[in-house]
Structure 1
Amino acid sequence: MSFNTISVVGLGYIGLPTAAMFASRKKKVIGVDVSQHAINTINKGEIHIVEPDLDMLVHAAVKEGFLKATFTPEPADAFLIAVPTPFKNNDSKIPEPDLTYIQKASEAIAPVLKKGDLVVLESTSPVGATEQMAEWLATARPDLTFPQKAGEHADINIAHCPERVLPGHVVRELVENDRVIGGMTPKCSNQAVELYKTFVKGECVITNTRTAEMAKLTENSCRDVQIAFANELSVICDKLDINVWELIALANRHPRINILQPGPGVGGHCIAVDPWFIVSKTPNEANLIHTARKVNDAKPSWVIEKVKLAISDYLQDNPDKTAKDVTIACYGLAFKPDIDDLRESPALNITKCISEFHQGAVLAVEPNIANLTGTLENVELADLKVAQENSNIHVVLVDHKEFKASQIHSEYLIDTKGIW
């Protein structure tokens, strides 16, 4: 079929680049979001997130009339849902996924669905979420038929296609990366492939919805386990007085060993979240995945204890000082280098914790963020040079390119990224 109009629901770090990519191929794209700020910004041809090259794509798409943002869904030939899938707020030791945003997005597009439309869930989701979305749509539109009942003869086609891109490289990877397409029927899969081939140069690999959902979770769980090994190794080496960075470099000289680099924890909208979707579904079977999550979630607390020890050491070495006289600089707030994304960021949480227990000044150096309004209280956003010259204790949390190009020598340095 011909996809003349495409609707993208959720204009965040994945939805907006995807919408812009379709629009760059001269498709009419209607972006839907609940944020009036995001809508107004996009309709001015500007972007509300940091992502290289995306600003040029959006500006051109809006200027040429191929992209617009709105609060209310409009009729289209294909609907892509790219909304958040957070955790429920409960006291469970195993976080449970919250599909409320997917449900609301489904109910929002349901009134404008017509026979022949395609609905694709892009949100990273627990196994079974695409089928659940199909049920919500069927409940809202009993006048239409859906694949779970009508199979190949359904009025509406439904598929899952998880995003597989790296923040900071989204524009390029949307085009070049392979895509996993999981349709509820072969017809659904084929239509989804046709849609994505509008701009995807990588291979579109067809499977079923559950396998497509699990594929994304598996990719990120694998990374989480690998990072957990590195993080646990860093804690062990600290106790044994071994330089973990040198150790890993030596071990990686083996042709079949590739240990990742440790850090202050794991953040972002994927690796810190997706493994829990597997654990919550199969808590008795996902033992290694669960353990890796616990190791990585514990690393920020370990870093904070190192900061407290550094404060104690500094005060012992400077008996004329009090805790109020000690300035701590935290280098980096984003969850990974060279982006502004703070989602699930261990660096952000560590900085916040330090500001809550420390009596003195806390400086944050984050080159990708202009202000901290509503993000951190009692923390001053500082220039790199200012922080280096005016701080007593230095805590490296993210290896931004600006930090790598700099250097500092201090007895009171906690470098979780091994750059200084």
Structure 2
Amino acid sequence: MKITVMGLGYIGLPTAITLAEAGFEVCGFDVNEKTIETLKGGHIHIVEPGLQEAFETAVAHGHLHFSAELSKSDVFYIAVPTPFYQDESGTHKADLRFVESAGRMAGKVLEPKNLVILESTVPPRTTEMLARVLSEESGIAMDELHVAHCPERVIPGNMMFELKNNDRIVGARTPEAAEMAAAIYEKVLEKGIVHKTDDLTAEMCKLTENTFRDVNIAYANELSVICDKMGIDVFELIRLANCHPRVNILTPGVGVGGHCIAVDPWFIYEQFPEEAKVIHASRVRNENKPRFVADKVVSSLAKVTDTVGVLGLSYKPDVDDLRESPSIELCHILQEKGVRVVACEPFAEASEVQGIPNVSFEQVMREADYLVITLGHSIFKNNKELISEKSYYDCVGMME
């Protein structure tokens, strides 16, 4: 069986490698020719533990290759970005152009017996839209297409384990598509179980999972704001509250980032604005946290001309993923307030990240008068004593 994975980013590339490890013939496709050239040259373009080694093994065994040209295949995996944008009224809307584009490309080479799996996280009824696009391009009737939605549910930093061990949801438009998709995942999984349902339920399941996390993080972030007004150490408070056997409050931070938790709740709210009140309030709370932190930092500076060093720009510790990063938003707000900002993001190669000077840990410690700890990267945890010599604002409780 030949499988083509369309989109070789944070989800598509690990998925392609895992499928190849399971013995499938896998072609990785991406419209970015530089990405294809890098992979053909023997190197991956994202940071993920164990991924380079797994990539080299899969290529060496002849199960994995890459192409910038889309050709016929038994199965097409679509793993493209699904960001959001704000329309003229400020309403958050899902940007499904990449999904539609991938569907139209696949439709041009699609055959009736083929299976199309959408792995991208999408709003409800997107799989139906994809089936319509595939039908338009291929000439195959919608009710004869094999289309499934199997949302990824992995976390950066542990992808290679979770791709093989987390339960998977297979939501299909037909029983035949469900069986075809389930057979693939059952060959990949080592411990996880495949759960079959319809496509609409599968779409909503992924959104529900990430929205659950967003709401819980919002509670922790709201506690941090309330505790600040009361003069209470929020990290000690949460530690004590979590001694209760049925309480598990998360750790607050500078906000919520990443392509999932910071985005997916909007996909629900977009379609159900009157019903999703708690979801909306949680999103607003988490999106406002960087401004709260910026105000606290500015009020703590000895003088306006002080240089603020921000420790961490990715959205979570020890990964290179900068998407929807609240730390970057914090830096931009500080810059708008006239503060000179330098950042240390060890997982970003660029000397500048979205207009923010990105320097080494040694340099940020030399230049900064005041530090903001936004992430518990290992390099920061290993240098807590050095960090403690400067004035700082700890967003994540790393120095507790």
Pick the TM interval, shorter chain: over 0.9
Q: Secondary structure at the match of 2:240?
A: helix
Match of 1:52 among 39, 49, 54: 49
CA distance in 2, matches of 1:84, 1:275: 16
1:413 aligns with 2:392: yes
Match of 2:150 in 1: 161
After superposition, where does 1:72-221 map in structure 2 within 5 Å? Answer: 72-142=69-139, 144-147=140-143, 154=144, 156-201=145-190, 202-221=192-211
After superposition, where does 1:383-394 map in structure 2 within 5 Å? Answer: 383-394=360-371
- Following superposition, which runs of at least 4 residues in structure 1 exceed 4 angstroms of deviation? none
Deviation at 1:49, TM superposition (A): 0.5
**Contact (CA 8 Å) 2:111, 2:138: kept in 1 or not?**
no
1:364 aligns with 2:343: yes
Q: Secondary structure at the match of 1:249?
A: helix
Match of 1:343 in 2: 323
Q: Secondary structure at the match of 2:39?
A: helix
User: For structure 2, which runs of at least 5 residues remain unmatched after alignment?
Assistant: none
1:24-72 Cα shifts (integer Å, max 9, x gaps): 2232111111211111111122101001111111122223332222222
User: For structure 1, which runs of at least 5 residues remain unmatched after alignment?
Assistant: 148-153, 316-322
Deviation at 1:364, TM superposition (A): 1.0
The code of the aligned residue for 2:149 comes to H
Match of 1:319 in 2: none
1:330-367 Cα shifts (integer Å, max 9, x gaps): 0000000100000000012212332344354x221112
Deviation at 1:394, TM superposition (A): 0.5
Structure exhibiting the larger radius of gyration computed from Cα positions: 1
Match of 2:10 among 13, 37, 57: 13
CA distance in 1, matches of 2:224, 2:318: 23
Deviation at 1:306, TM superposition (A): 1.3
Deviation at 1:410, TM superposition (A): 5.2
Deviation at 1:88, TM superposition (A): 3.3
CA distance in 2, matches of 1:306, 1:88: 29
Q: Secondary structure at the match of 1:167?
A: coil
Q: Secondary structure at the match of 1:29?
A: strand
TM-score, L = length of structure 1: 0.91
The code of the aligned residue for 1:71 comes to A
CA distance in 2, matches of 1:359, 1:290: 31
Match of 2:240 among 215, 228, 250: 250
Match of 1:400 in 2: 377
CA distance in 1, matches of 2:41, 2:378: 30
Q: How many residues align?
A: 396
Percent identical pairs in the alignment equals 43
Pair 76,334 (structure 1): closer, same or farther in 2 beyond 3 Å: same
* RMSD, aligned CA: 1.5
More deviation in 61-70 or 331-340?
Answer: 61-70
Match of 1:376 in 2: 354
**Contact (CA 8 Å) 2:371, 2:390: kept in 1 or not?**
no
